[in-house]
Structure formats: structure tokens, C-alpha cells
Amino acid sequence: MEAFNSNISHYENDSYEYDDELISMCEVDNYKMTTGVCYAIIFCLSILGNGFLVCALTCYEDLKRATNLFMFCLALFDLLFTLTLPFWCVELLHHWVFGDVACMIMTGAYFVGIYGSLILLTAMTLDRFVVVVVRSYWLTRSRRLKCSKVACIGAWIISLIACLRDSITAKAQNAHINTYSCESTDTHDEKAGYYAQLILLFLVPFAVIAFCYTKILLTLMSTSTRQKYRTVILVLCIVIAFFICWGPYHIIIVLMSIYEFDACEHYQLHAAFVISRILAFSHCCINPALYILRGKYRSLLSSLLFCSPELRQSGLYRGPTDPSDSRIHPYTNEGARENCEAQQTNIVELNTLKTL
């Protein structure tokens, strides 16, 4: 179940019997009840938020825009990750009762959700970088849409390939008498595999995103056009939220591997791990919340909640929500350029007639 930490065991109360007395040697609170309840809350919020986002983007938005397509695929990855949470809740509150096949499927879905989200966030950042910083004449709206489709398909393929090792080795392990847990059985070069995943699927994307957004912010600060800020700020907030949620989790996992973690000796680290894991899992609720903060989607949400008849009007909420399609570069939108030239021609002709 756990990301990159199949080598971490759950410590129960150890005891020894000496002179007919039970002497407790180590008592560790695994916070299973608290974690299970938090997972259930995250599941409900994520299903509602991402379900609304998928509905809004599908029914009331234009998926032929790159940013909307990215957000749609990102919501799908979050939903896939969310669907695994009830299984982990059952494992925490009771034990794993679903068997080996379900363990493999849920582990694969878990990692696909994480890897796919990070790959898409990197692709969204590169898209912003090209539009804002590079400003290529070649990157028209249609070509940009094709690139976004390739990025979405690539995110699914890469995440599926990356999860194969963890998914295949995941099985229902006998933790105690008649008690099972879903864990990886592969112990060969476990740390090497984890560090390779950490570098390729976390640190490298983080470095790319940090570089791109440094250039983007410097470019925006040097220009006077402010209409393009909205989409860039939205993507930036989504990226920051991802690393705030998942960053502490990875840091603590690294510390656990360095200090050869023992829950009895490193109780504070154990508690920090539990908190960081809940924070990491809550990330699937963040993206819908950030997207709904936009005024257009607040109106749509209120209309859906109160069953407004205005939703029956065709295309009521459809419109350009991605300012970069037409405002980042003055010649990116060919139709807008032609309209502008036609208007200028008409003005010149009218002035000529007045002078005659």
C-alpha cells in the first residue's frame, strides 16, 4: 500500500512473560483509527470535488483547450487514486480481506495516480513555459492541443510502466494470526529501487518545474500585460500544492531509511510519518478546490447545487477560460489577428472617405 516504503513494518506491542508477569517492552500507537477516519473523509471530499470538476469540464467547458484537457486528465488520476482509499481504510481498521489480486490492482492504481499526476503537472508547467517564455510562432492553438493530448497519453503509459514492479510484487502478507496486510514481497535492492523512483519521478520533475516557473515569473514581471496571469497562477498553485503535500512524506521516508527506523526508538519520527502520509493523501482534494476558486466555477457549482434552470441553456458556461490561447502572444490566435487587421482597414477607409 505505502508509496516507496514497503520495507517499513508496523510495530505492535511486544512483550515477554517473566515469572508469570507480563512485562510490556514497547508500546507504539499506530494511529490506525485516526488514519482510517481521515482516509474516509478524504475519499468523500475527493469524489465530490473531482466528480464535479470532471462534470464541469465535460459538459460546460471546451476540452479542445490545452489547460482544460490537462485539468480533466489530472482529475481522472486523482479519482483513480481516490478509489483505492476505501481498501486502505479496511486494511487499517480491520485487515486486508480482499486477496492477492485486489492487492496487486489497488497497488497499481495507487502508484498510477501518483505518477500520472506528477507527470501531468510537469507537462502543464512545460506548456506554460513555452507559451509565456518561448512564445513560438510554430505553437498555434491546434498544435498546442495535439501536444497536450500526447502528454496526457504519455502520462498514462509512463505511469502504468512505472507501477508494474510494485504492482506485481504486491501480495496479501500474513502479518499476524489470521491477519493480513497488502505489502510488497520484493526485498532485493529495495532501497535502490526506491531511490531510483524518488530521483526520476520526484526530484527531476521538481527541478524542471522550479526552473520553468522561475523563467515564467521573471518574464511576467518584465511585462505589463496582466490578463495572462490567471492561468499561470492557477497552474503554479496546483504545482505548489502537490509538493507541499508530497514533499514532507518523501523527506520522512528518506530519514526512515537513513536511521534504520524503529518505531520504539524513533516515536516522534513515526508520528511525523503518519501525519505526512495523511497530508500526502489529502492532495487529491486540493486541485478541485483550487479550480472552483475561479468565479466562473463558483457560479456553476451554485447552479448545480440549487438546480438552476439556466444550466439547460446550451453553452451557458462555455468560453475561453485559458487566456494564454489568445493573449500570451499577439499572433498566436490567427482569427484574432485577421479581425484586428480588418478593423484597421475599415477605419482607414472611413477616414479616406471623410477627407474626400
Q: What is the CA radius of gyration of the chain?
A: 25
Lowest-pLDDT range of 33-47, 104-118, 142-156, 237-251? 237-251
pLDDT at 33 over 60: yes
| Model confidence, pTM | 0.77
3-state secondary structure of 150: helix
* Residue 294: CA count within 13 A, CB half-sphere: 20
**Mean pLDDT across 321-341:** 44
What is the bridge-based pairing of β-strands 21-26 and 179-184?
unpaired
For the stretch 139-159, pLDDT in tens is 888 899 999 999 999 999 999
- Which one is the CATH code of 31-319: 3.40.50.970, 1.20.1070.10, 1.10.10.10, 3.40.50.720? 1.20.1070.10
Q: How far is the C-alpha of 314 from the C-alpha of 299, rounded, in Å? A: 16
Split at pLDDT 50, 70, 90, the class of 317 is: very low
- Residue whose C-alpha is closest to residue 294's, from 226, 221, 209, 229: 229
Q: How far is the C-alpha of 318 from the C-alpha of 36, rounded, in Å? A: 39
User: What is the reported pLDDT for 20?
Assistant: 46
pLDDT at 245 over 50: yes
**Mean pLDDT across 258-284:** 82
Q: How far is the C-alpha of 255 from the C-alpha of 52, rounded, in Å? A: 38
Give me 174's grid cell: 500474513
Query: How many other β-carbons are positioned within 10 Å of the β-carbon of residue 240?
Result: 14
Give me the amino acid identity at 23: I
For the stretch 202-220, pLDDT in tens is 888 889 998 998 888 888 8
For the stretch 54-96, pLDDT in tens is 988 888 778 888 988 999 999 999 999 999 999 999 998 888 9
- Quote helix, strand, coil % in the chain, to nearest 5: 70, 5, 25
Provide CB contacts within 8 A for 154, sequence distance 6+.
Answer: 119, 123
For the stretch 188-197, pLDDT in tens is 566 676 777 7
Q: How far is the C-alpha of 331 from the C-alpha of 345, rounded, in Å? A: 18
